[in-house]
Amino acid sequence: MRTRACLLFFILLAVIMVPFHVPSLALQHTKDNDELHSLIIEVEGDPKKHKDYLEQYHPYIEVVAVYTKLFQGLALQGEPKQLKRMENLEFVKNVHQVQTYQTPSFPHVKRIEDNSNIVFPSELNKTDYTGKGVKVAVIDTGVDYQHPDLKKNYQAGRDLVDLDDDPMETKPEEGLPTIHGSHVAGIIAANGQLKGVAPDAELYAYRALGPGGTGTSIQVIAAMEQAIKDEVDVINLSLGNRVNGPDYPTSVAVNKAVEMGVAVVIANGNDGPGDWTVGAPATANKALSVGAVSNKQKVPHLYERWADKKIEMVNMAGSIPWELDTFYPVVNATETMDLKGSIALYQRDEIPFIEKAKQAQENGAKAVVIANNEDKLFQGDISSVNEQLDIPVVSISEDDGQWLINKLKNQEQLLLETIYEHQEEAIAKFSSRGPVTVNWNIKPDLVAPGTRIISTVPNGYQALQGTSMAAPHVAGVIALIKEARPNWSNQQIYGALKTTALRMELDGKPIKSTEQGMGMVRPQEAIQTDTIIDDPKLTFGLVDSYSSTKEKEVTIENMSDHTQTYYFDTPYKQKGVSWQLPRSFTLAPHEKKKLTIGVKLNAQQLDKGVHQGWMTLHQKNKTYYLPYLFVNESADNPKAMGLEFTLKPLSNRIFNYRFYMAEPAKQVEVDLYNSDTLVFERNLFIHKDVKRGVNEGQIERSEAGPPGIYLAIITAHLETGEVVSYESMIHIPPI
């Protein structure tokens, strides 16, 4: 307790929520033309032969790295005019520029003022193990390996942004500074004043995300390949995108890495609480995807007493905590600059959140509320400011924002107070949910602590929250298990973690498996388990006929030195569902047994959509819960997603586009609307004969039309005859 108290006294803190992202964008370089640039190319054929060709015929281009394990490619450095020639080579499939833009400098880290509800990573480790000798890779924004709590365990790394051996976090002079990777690394293996889950694990850092935490999927895959070459035992990926499909390039690469014997842990995403929000690479079948659990805490809500209206809000990244304690007037900040003593209400648009917040503070506001432009909560970021803001900044949903605006129109003054509710441990609302489209897999696999997690950042410590913080808890736990059980395979480790996870309940009922997976990770129980179920998640897929029988094989292993007997409970009877379960069975010491669990389904007797529940397996005085899921006929899953639109690398006249389809379509149309007036502007492109998975194409600048920020409506005409659409923002840069 004394150590914890001393640490709390000295730690520097800004309580924030940090979303993670890997936009697959070719990012522009801002240095002078005579300086060296770096890029990664994907190639057709043997990269080693292409390396020889470049060295012979393009001697001014340096081949920095050759990639052959997870994708076929080369990392190159050279002057822009030399690199420009690469796109014309026949074997070059794609070009990915590595350098990124420059932006404002690092915010200073705030001292702890409210140390309640802080979660220390070491609290998860109740074992005698420390991860000694286990090599853990952090693929992220880099790591501050000079931090006193990280330098002892840091071993080596690679920068896939600048293509050198210095994986330091982005510094202010290099662009928008980053802290994310250092925070992740500290959760895993901090070893100083602060202790990680596995404080003796060896840290390997791979900087795949540059200034502002952005990068390309190819940089991430290249980092994974380098980690495999360095023979790491565990890879942590606290990053991802919004493409809910199992065959996105990063997900495919993750599966390959697992097949090569590396344990891969991935953050599930921060796009909850809706279903189908888990994104690649957390959608990978063979990785451990991790959702976030919120700790017990006091949660503020805005409250309008006379209408009995309660408004949920989310602190922006970099904001001080919301601690208002009386009534304050709400003012529509888009209509007046007189904000003194008020809560300033803004609507989300193209103006950065930090600019709104700075303006409000300068005009005397007590707090800032930013309403979303779609009906869900979101996690914004104001941590890119030079000076620390002194007022809290939060986000609310579009519906709640419109309610406030309507109230302001109809009355002279609107006063809101703050009420505080005590929240029990639960799945964090921001934590992305499954299932996965196409294969209907249950994700996440597990959940771990993900709110108010204190860890290392450059120049100090911070408390962050997100599934980015939950995943490294599990990566650290795997390090503990690898030390404790060095003969276990990764498959056994995965199975032990899932088998022994604590299924979470709400009001006496189990939370859906698409929210919690198998439940809360438990290191001690996983290490000591006497039973391992290889993959307890029973995904039966899509039911698309009148009557069908689905089967799933499960392997159960007796890890003990004595005979054990198991039996299933018969599930409650449900119309249209008939289960076919194994009878009671006995396993000899260290015996494995494959079981077939079947279900006969009558589509006409069941509601359409996702059906899920839990099987119960007993062994003496222990109970194991196996989640199941099937989809009857169809579901409300997203059909089209992940539109990307950017200039082709090394070009100023060609745009690349890419989007993902969960189902094939006759065609996809992208129409542009004015982002302010929502008036139709023009059609951007039409893509025909659309396949399931990633679809790509190019258009000329002349076809793209005038530059600007547009609301894009993506409309897909599915082969089933259904027409679906979704929205995205597109930026067409000027020449």
The whole-number pLDDT of residue 613 equals 94
Distance, in Å, from the CA atom of 609 to the CA atom of 633, rounded to the nearest integer, reads: 7
The CATH architecture assigned to 530-632 reads Sandwich (2.60)
Band the pLDDT of 28: cuts 50, 70, 90. very low
How much of the chain, in percent, has pLDDT values that exceed 90?
Answer: 56
Task: Look at residue 17 in the predicted model and tell me its pLDDT.
Answer: 31
- At residue 696, what is the residue type? E
Per-residue model confidence (pLDDT) at position 82: 84
Model confidence at 388, pLDDT cuts 50, 70, 90, reads low
Which uninterrupted H or E stretch holds 598? strand 592-602
Q: What burial letters (b/e) apply to 296-317, b meaning 16+ CB within 10 Å?
A: ebeebbbbbeeeeeebbbbbbb
Q: Please report which confidence band the pLDDT of residue 110 belongs to, taking 50, 70 and 90 as the band edges.
A: very low
d(Cα 473, Cα 499) in Å, to the nearest integer? 17
For Cα atoms 336, 341, 342, give the angle at the middle one, nearest 5 degrees. 55
**For residue 445, is pLDDT > 90?**
yes
The CA distance from 435 to 448, in Å, is 18
Task: Please answer whether residues 440 and 632 qualify as being in contact, where contact means their C-beta atoms are separated by less than 8 angstroms.
Answer: no
CATH number for the 37-97 domain, one of 3.30.70, 3.30.300, 3.30.1450, 3.10.450? 3.30.70
Fold of 117-295+427-499: Rossmann fold (3.40.50)
| pLDDT for res 360 | 93
| C-alpha span between 338 and 166 (Å, rounded) | 48
Q: Is the pTM of this model over 0.85?
A: no
Q: Right CATH number for 640-732 from 3.40.50.300, 2.70.50.50, 3.30.470.10, 2.50.20.10?
A: 2.70.50.50
Contact 44, 89 (CB under 8 A): no
What is the chain's alpha carbon radius of gyration, rounded to the nearest angstrom? Answer: 26
Using pLDDT thresholds of 50, 70 and 90, give the confidence band for residue 115: low
Model confidence band, residue 384 (pLDDT cutoffs 50, 70, 90): low
- Determine the topology of domain 297-423 in CATH: Glucose Oxidase; domain 1 (3.50.30)
pLDDT value for 23: 30
Digit-coded pLDDT (tens) for 709-721: 898 999 999 998 9
Q: Report the candidate in 543, 551, 550 with the shortest Cα–Cα distance to residue 605.
A: 543
Residue range 182-210, pLDDT digits in tens: 999 999 999 999 999 999 999 999 999 99
- Which residues, 6+ apart, have CB-to-CB distance to 306 below 8 Å? none
Lowest mean pLDDT among 370-379, 458-467, 665-674: 370-379
Q: Classify the C-alpha dihedral 393-398-404-409 as positive or negative.
A: positive
Q: How confident is the model at residue 483 (pLDDT cuts 50, 70, 90)?
A: very high
- Are 261 and 69 in contact, with CB atoms under 8 Å apart? no
pLDDT top residue among 280 and 226: 226
Show Cβ contacts of residue 309 under 8 Å, excluding neighbours closer than 6 positions.
303, 403
Output phi, psi for 148, to 5 deg: -60, -25
Band of residue 27 on the pLDDT scale cut at 50, 70, 90: very low
Q: Per residue in 485-540, pLDDT tens?
A: 999 999 999 999 999 999 999 889 999 999 999 999 999 999 999 999 998 999 99
How is the chain split into domains, by residue range? 37-97, 117-295+427-499, 297-423, 530-632, 640-732
Question: Tokens standing for 582?
Answer: 């194994």
**Angle at Cα 121 formed by Cα 117 and Cα 125, nearest 5°?**
120
- Among 687, 695, 698, residue whose Cα is nearest residue 659: 695
Does residue 102 register a pLDDT over 50?
no
| Most confident by average pLDDT, 418-427, 586-595, 712-721 | 586-595
573 Cβ neighbours under 8 A, 6+ residues apart: none
